A and B are shown apart, each in its own frame.
Chain A
Amino acid sequence: SQQGEEDPQALSIQEGENATMNCSYKTSINNLQWYRQNSGRGLVHLILIRSNEREKHSGRLRVTLDTSKKSSSLLITASRAADTASYFCATEANSGGSNYKLTFGKGTLLTVNP
């Protein structure tokens, strides 16, 4: 079952603009991660935010997490054509004992036009 749900499903912007994607989830989590997938490089981990963190930055990426609303957002600043990809949020939760499991959403397809 899908835990995270991204919004919007698709987003088209011009190069240089900012892109914001949102993720909502249903159950309590240990952390939330964002991944990027394109045909060239496959599925790649971008950033992880722990459940006790509210905001995290990595280069042009900014992630926020609101556990009270069970939601997260990914902001990509000064977008480039190379940022064109599908972006997935994935929630990590304990699946029993010391095991942890990632559950992915359906993704947001971002198109950055030159």
Chain B
Amino acid sequence: EAGVAQSPRYKIIEKRQSVAFWCNPISGHATLYWYQQILGQGPKLLIQFQNNGVVDDSQLPKDRFSAERLKGVDSTLKIQPAKLEDSAVYLCASSRYGVSTDTQYFGPGTRLTVL
């Protein structure tokens, strides 16, 4: 079974530029998550999708971050405009149903550096 795919793996941009990340979850997984992991910290949930609907975006900075999951499969996360403090690894994860005890499977992440 193929794992969660993410691209690009690395991205360097200047502040105030925009950037987009792409995620392809494990086939058949209904739930998709985007996490932000700042160096030295654990991942923080940004947004959770159930199929193509948002179920939790309480920690997404909506003035600059946006995400979509068209057709309930692939997802993109966008930052516009980027700030220095957005430098982090952005992890995508998926789970089969999104219910309690459901295992989340993580992708390799995209390392973003904002200069």
**Interface of A toward B, CB cutoff 8 Å:** 2, 4, 30-31, 42-45, 48, 50, 88, 90, 92, 94-96, 98-107
Q: Report if A31-B101 is in contact (Cβ < 8 Å); known contacts: A43-B43, A104-B42, A104-B43.
A: yes
**Interface of B toward A, CB cutoff 8 Å:** 40-45, 48, 50, 55-56, 58, 91, 93, 98-109
- Tell me the smallest distance from the CB of B66 to a CB of chain A, in Å: 20
Q: Report which of A44, A50, A94 forms a contact with B106, defined as CB distance below 8 A.
A: A44
Interface of B is mostly: loop
- Tell me the smallest distance from the CB of A7 to a CB of chain B, in Å: 14
Question: Does the CB pair B104–A102 fall under 8 Å?
Answer: yes
Q: Given the complex, which residues of A lie within 8 Å of B102, measured CB to CB?
A: 100
Q: Given the complex, which residues of A lie within 8 Å of B58, measured CB to CB?
A: 95
26 contacts between A and B (CB under 8 A): A2-B41, A4-B42, A30-B101, A31-B101, A42-B91, A42-B106, A42-B107, A43-B43, A43-B91, A43-B106, A44-B106, A45-B104, A48-B101, A50-B101, A88-B43, A95-B58, A96-B56, A99-B50, A100-B99, A100-B100, A101-B56, A104-B42, A104-B44, A106-B41, A106-B42, A107-B41
Question: Does the CB pair A99–B98 fall under 8 Å?
Answer: yes
Closest A-B pairs by Cβ, 7 of them? A104-B42, A43-B106, A100-B100, A88-B42, A42-B108, A99-B55, A30-B100
Extra pairs beyond A88-B42, A95-B56 (20, CB < 8 Å):
A2-B41, A2-B42, A30-B101, A42-B91, A43-B43, A43-B93, A43-B109, A44-B106, A48-B101, A90-B42, A92-B100, A92-B101, A99-B56, A100-B98, A101-B45, A101-B56, A102-B45, A104-B42, A104-B44, A106-B42
Q: Given the complex, which residues of A lie within 8 Å of B108, measured CB to CB?
A: 42
